[in-house]
Amino acid sequence: MEINMLTTPEQRLLYDEQGFIMIPSLFSPEEVAVLKAGMAALHTDQRVAGAEGRTKGGMVVEDADTSRLQFYIHRGGTRFDLLARHPRMARIMQELMAVPMDIYHSKLAFKAAFTGSVQFWRQDYGYWITAKHPQPKTAPGAPNAIRPLYCAPMTR
Amino acid sequence: MKADDIFAFHNLTFHGSLMNQSDDIRWRTDLPYSETGRPLEWLSKAGLNGFIARSHGHPETVESWVDWQAKRRSAGVKV
């Protein structure tokens, strides 16, 4: 049924055929600003300090005190929690997957300015097969929604 | 991509990212969704089960992580 769907038949067909789609400007600049303002609630600084220069506690740390990855940001009642369940975000993902869906983990990546390294071409199925998901032919649709945020430096 | 764009891709899709040559750190949020009833096994074994992000058929089951955690706690399940 097309009524109230956020994706078009063309977008869903494109996703099925090529495995990805871009959805431009899903959120307004004002909404992005609200999300960015919610960064403090993730307590990244405290978690980096707690990691004591190592990769632990849901943090990947570089050079002893620079955060590179923070995991499980969809928990804890923060604005990132709300983002994962945002009606527009979740509806679009469900329309693409066409099945009921859960969210199990999440992460926020901080890529360094000027020299932020290239992430080479990869496929996430190697990760999923570790979790004993079905072989590719029968793997359930599992889109990752990647939302880039460009904002003030976080390097310490 | 701009800050308000979404890139959605299947877990079989090859992907990567280029060097950040801007003068700011680039922040990216990754939110992997998976079919209900098909948890990532190692996360599930670690007690890190997922919660329903959206249910078209049962919208009343959609809950926040905090609500979900409280429900598990009250049921005596390890959170």
Q: What pLDDT, in 10s, does the model give residues A27-54?
A: 888 888 888 888 888 888 888 888 877 7
**Predicted confidence (pLDDT) at residue A12 exceeds the cutoff of 80:** yes
Which residues lie closer than 8 Å to A52 by C-beta, 6 or more apart?
Answer: none
Taking the complete model, does pTM exceed 0.80, yes or no? Answer: no
Q: What is the DSSP string of A70-129?
A: EE-TT-TTSHHHHHHT-HHHHHHHHHHH-S-EEE---EEEEEPTTTBPPEEEE-THHHHH
Reported as a single tens digit per residue, the pLDDT across A98-141 is 887 778 778 888 888 777 777 677 666 555 555 555 444 434 45
What pLDDT does A99 receive? Answer: 80
Range of the domain at B47: 41-74
> pLDDT of A105-117, one tens digit each?
788 888 887 777 7
Q: Give the residue among A44, A39, A95, A78 at the shortest CA–CA distance from B6.
A: A95
Across A53-90, b (16+ Cβ under 10 Å) vs e yields eeeeebbbbeeeebbbbbbbbbbeebbbbbbbbbeebb
Domain count, chain B: 1
Phi, psi dihedrals of residue A43, rounded to the nearest 5° = 55, 45
- For residue B23, name the pLDDT band (cuts at 50, 70, 90): confident
Token reading at A54: 């190592």
- What residues in A contact B57, CB-CB < 8 Å? 100
Contact B20, A116 (CB under 8 A): yes
Q: Decide if B50 is inside a domain.
A: yes
Distance from CA of B46 to the nearest CA of A (A): 12
Best A27, A66, A150, A151 member to test B by mutation, with max B CBs in 10 Å, is A150
Evaluate whether residue B4 is within a structural domain.
no
How much is the pLDDT for A47?
Answer: 85
Is B28 inside a domain boundary? no
Q: Which CATH number fits domain A9-111+119-138: 2.60.120.620, 3.40.718.10, 3.30.390.30, 3.30.390.10?
A: 2.60.120.620
Q: For residue B14, list chain A residues with Cβ-Cβ distance below 8 A.
A: 121-123
List C-alpha distances in Å: B3 to A31, A151, B26, B64. Answer: 11, 9, 9, 25
Average pLDDT, rounded, for chain B: 71
Beta-carbon separation of A154 and B54 below 8 A: no
Note the pLDDT of residue B72: 64
Is B24 within 8 Å of A113 (Cβ atoms)? yes
Phi first, then psi, for residue B20 (nearest 5°) are -85, 110
Of the pLDDT bands very low, low, confident and very high (cuts 50, 70, 90), residue A61 is confident
Distance CA B24, CA B30 (A): 19
Find the mean pLDDT for residues A52-79.
81
| Strands in chain B per DSSP E | 6-9, 15-17, 26-35, 51-54
Contact between A25 and B4 using a beta-carbon 8 Å cutoff: yes
CB contact (8 A) between residue B8 and residue A76 = no
- How much of chain B, in percent, has pLDDT values that exceed 90? 0
CB-CB neighbors (< 8 A) of B68 in chain A: none
Q: Are A145 and B33 in contact (CB under 8 A)?
A: yes
- Between chain A and chain B, how many beta carbons pairs sit less than 8 Å apart? 289
| pLDDT of the residue at A1 | 47
Copy the structure tokens of residue A127.
């990760």
